[in-house]
Structure 1
């Protein structure tokens, strides 16, 4: 994910989640905030499917195991960028 793909919505979502957790903590509630990068992996799956479709490959013809391997390759290549953008 390039910097231009990190839109205001990403920052707003993270900021709102952080705000709500801090508010509850200030009110004395026990809190744990474990921010993630992708709920259920759906966005990652879509990105990898688009990447494969440019090579005329579908996840169905690739098969589950090979498709999961492609997803992990993508995560290894771009995962650090996503975390760095969240830290910014």
Structure 2
């Protein structure tokens, strides 16, 4: 599966325990998204377009109206990367 660099960054953050918080309009559309790492930092690469691509490819999911997290398919498709800690 072809995954862009910005999508990979977001998936890595989510795989390490991050989440995507979203805000909806009155008619139910996604207005804006905020990708938060497990440490509480905000990832600037996460835009509404990247979010829509990840959701369309079913790499992220939300359960019971909670923030979006990585799905099992997303865990399998993310490339290995060294943790720079």
What range describes the TM-score normalised by the shorter chain of this pair?
Answer: under 0.3
TM-score, normalization by structure 1? 0.23
- Rg: which structure is higher? 1
Structure 2 length-normalised TM: 0.24
